[in-house]
A = this chain, B = another copy of it.
């Protein structure tokens, strides 16, 4: 079964060319996996799914690819406090929109919320501008998280 056809010019491939990175089957698969799930997946979550598509893929490569995508800003890496990093596509086309997180410190449930985001982002942008000026940072991303206890755990 063919899961992936080499579509020249897919949104992410240009980025790869720019930095001289090769377009390989494992990389295509990892990106495909990220695209087909909105959830925050750990490296091994990604590995398991990738492995189903092509059993020859290695966990190491999944880590490496996730890392590379994070560097490129294509993927955002999170730590929700359960000992493993979580990954999400930024601007998943046709997927989940940018969002912020609400984290239950007991059961580690994550709520992605998008409410109030417009106001929040407007606010963030202003702050970002001021900060990048003052500290001479090139700011590329942000994260807002609320911590507490969910309905069950409170």
Q: What is A's interface to B at a CB cutoff of 8 Å?
A: 71, 77, 79, 81, 102, 104-105, 111, 113, 115-116, 119-120, 123, 127-128, 130-132, 134-151, 154
Report the minimum CB–CB distance from A143 to chain B (whole Å): 5
> 14 A–B contact pairs at CB < 8 A?
A77-B81, A79-B79, A102-B139, A111-B135, A113-B135, A120-B127, A128-B146, A136-B150, A139-B148, A140-B149, A141-B147, A142-B146, A143-B144, A144-B144
Residues of B within 8 A of A120 (CB): 123, 127
Residue in B127, B140, B150 whose beta carbon sits within 8 Å of that of A147 in the complex: B140
Contact, CB under 8 Å: B141 / A142: no
CB within 8 Å for A138 and B154 given contacts A128-B146, A146-B128, A147-B143: yes
In angstroms, Cα B143 to Cα A102, docked, is 11
List 20 other contacts, CB 8 Å, given A77-B81, A139-B147. Answer: A71-B105, A79-B79, A79-B81, A102-B131, A111-B135, A111-B137, A115-B134, A119-B123, A123-B123, A131-B146, A135-B150, A136-B150, A138-B149, A139-B146, A140-B147, A141-B146, A141-B147, A142-B145, A142-B146, A143-B147
Pairs A-B, 10 closest by C-beta atoms = A79-B79, A139-B148, A138-B154, A141-B147, A136-B151, A138-B149, A137-B148, A140-B148, A142-B146, A138-B148
